């Protein structure tokens, strides 16, 4: 059974999940039961006129009033991430639901900030690529024919590279509407497939993770996600083995995932005599500085706090890498397209200047 309404509702994004968890956690801090808290949120949604949110909260209220627990109601709604519902179930079983809800809000807010930073940083280079591509397109399809007319008036014609560019430009000019329409359609289809097909999404993410320019960024984001997830499962009262199992499923970047699995296998080893902090250090998931922090926190019993701080530090490293990459990409794009435009213009202008000198 899904949403009681036949209307198709998409999965909540990280920001929406974070807001839901934080609002419900604040109400639970005030000794309001989850069912009453969701009912209050439903009334707010009705006054704000948010139809999708209203449908989701109505489903939760109905399921909670029928006697289901919060995580069961959220599963019925079919719009919450599995990790979120799993952690809430654990929070309910362990009696730490309020603490887990706060931790989930912090976790999903961090995920949203990382995703939002990447999207915002990519906007400027993508716009620049589009504008410069359009300029080159106009140059070869509209400007080169004008130069060709000048050549014809001088009793000659373009040759070599400029001639090939002219033929290419004429082909584009005759089919410009078809080319732009096809390109737009393909972009829309690719975006739809990326959003709706998880296999394609995972392949794209995996491909970008292996690209040399994004490899370190993927590593930092994955380690931050691991540290945040471990702190969250720790808050929920899970065993270390179960925590590692759950968090390993969240990590897509294979090198970090393999290190987590090695740590998990070490923990399961019946001959193992090392504690969790020592296994983390041996797995080489964190750099030496943060590994020492884990060792010290393990002795003082504050690994959870250390993991949260490490997650924040790796998020900051990821932001810095994104900003540095954009600082390099933008001038590189300008230089690349400037060279392309100069080559096109020089291939036309230099022969024309020689012809003018001969005539003179």
Burial 197-227 (b: 16+ CB within 10 A, else e): eeeeeeeeeeeebeeeebeebbbbbbbbbbb
Write the DSSP symbol of residue 6.
S
Q: Which of 92-96, 115-119, 187-191, 201-205 has the lowest mean pLDDT?
A: 201-205
Single pTM value for the model: 0.66
Tens digit of each residue's pLDDT (9 = 90 or more) over 240-299: 788 888 888 878 788 888 888 888 888 777 666 677 777 777 888 888 888 888 878 777
Instruction: Identify the band that residue 336 occupies on the pLDDT scale cut at 50, 70 and 90.
Output: confident
Instruction: Identify the band that residue 64 occupies on the pLDDT scale cut at 50, 70 and 90.
Output: very high
On whether residue 349 sits in a domain, the answer given is: yes
| Residue 93 pLDDT | 82
Q: Rounded to 5, what percent of the chain is helix, strand, coil?
A: 80, 0, 20
On whether residue 325 sits in a domain, the answer given is: yes
Residue 188 exposure: Cα atoms within 13 Å on the Cβ side = 6
Same domain, 182 and 223: yes
On whether residue 8 sits in a domain, the answer given is: no
For the chain, the residue count is 360
Last residue of a domain, which of 50, 80, 110? Answer: 80
Average pLDDT of the residues in 197-214: 53
89 pLDDT higher than 80: yes
Average pLDDT of the residues in 196-224: 63
Same domain, 295 and 182: yes
Total structural domains within the chain = 2
| Residue 214 pLDDT | 65
**In the chain, what percentage of residues exceed pLDDT 90?**
10
Same domain, 69 and 102: no
| Residue 6 pLDDT | 45
On whether residue 5 sits in a domain, the answer given is: no
Same domain, 218 and 150: yes
Q: What is the mean pLDDT of the chain?
A: 79
Rounded Cα gap, residues 60 and 73, in angstroms: 5
Average pLDDT of the residues in 335-340: 86
Roughly what angle, to the nearest 10 degrees, separates helices 82-94 and 215-235? 20
Segments forming the whole domain that contains residue 202:
97-360
97 pLDDT higher than 60: yes
Instruction: Identify the band that residue 352 occupies on the pLDDT scale cut at 50, 70 and 90.
Output: confident
| Residue 349 pLDDT | 79
Q: Is 299 exposed, middle or buried (0-12, 13-18, 19+ CB in 10 A)?
A: exposed
On whether residue 87 sits in a domain, the answer given is: no
Tens digit of each residue's pLDDT (9 = 90 or more) over 310-326: 888 888 888 788 778 77
Same domain, 75 and 122: no
Instruction: Identify the band that residue 50 occupies on the pLDDT scale cut at 50, 70 and 90.
Output: low
């Amino acid at each position: 059974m899904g949403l009681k309404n036949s209307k198709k509702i998409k999965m909540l994004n990280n920001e929406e999940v974070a807001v839901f968890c934080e609002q419900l956690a604040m109400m639970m801090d005030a000794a309001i039961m989850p069912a009453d808290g969701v009912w209050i949120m439903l009334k707010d949604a009705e006054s704000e006129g948010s139809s999708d949110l209203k449908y989701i909260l109505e489903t939760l209220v109905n399921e909670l009033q029928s006697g289901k627990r919060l995580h069961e109601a959220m599963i019925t709604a079919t719009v919450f991430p599995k990790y979120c519902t799993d952690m809430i179930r654990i929070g309910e079983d362990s009696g730490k639901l309020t603490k887990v809800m706060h931790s989930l809000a912090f976790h999903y807010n961090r995920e949203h900030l990382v995703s939002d930073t990447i999207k915002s940083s990519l906007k400027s280079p993508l716009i620049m690529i589009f504008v410069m591509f359009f300029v080159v397109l106009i140059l070869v399809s509209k400007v080169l024919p004008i130069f060709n007319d000048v050549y014809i008036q001088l009793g000659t014609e373009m040759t070599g590279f400029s001639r090939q560019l002219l033929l290419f430009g004429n082909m584009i000019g005759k089919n410009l509407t078809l080319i732009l329409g096809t390109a737009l359609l393909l972009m829309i289809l690719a975006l739809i497939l990326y959003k709706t097909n998880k296999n394609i999404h995972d392949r794209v993410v995996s491909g970008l993770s292996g690209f040399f320019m994004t490899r370190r960024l993927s590593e930092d984001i994955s380690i931050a996600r691991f540290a945040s997830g471990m702190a969250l499962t720790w808050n929920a009262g899970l065993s270390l083995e179960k925590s590692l199992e759950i968090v390993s499923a969240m990590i897509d970047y294979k090198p970090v995932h393999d290190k987590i699995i090695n740590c998990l296998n070490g923990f399961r080893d019946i001959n193992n005599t090392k504690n969790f902090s020592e296994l983390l250090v041996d797995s080489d998931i964190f750099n030496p500085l943060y590994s020492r922090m884990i060792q010290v926190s393990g002795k003082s019993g504050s690994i959870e706090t250390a993991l949260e701080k490490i997650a924040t530090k790796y998020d900051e490293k990821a932001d810095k890498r994104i900003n540095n990459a954009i600082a390099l990409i933008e001038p590189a794009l300008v230089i690349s397209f400037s060279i392309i435009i100069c080559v096109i213009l020089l291939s036309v202008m230099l022969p024309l200047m020689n012809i003018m000198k001969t005539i003179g």
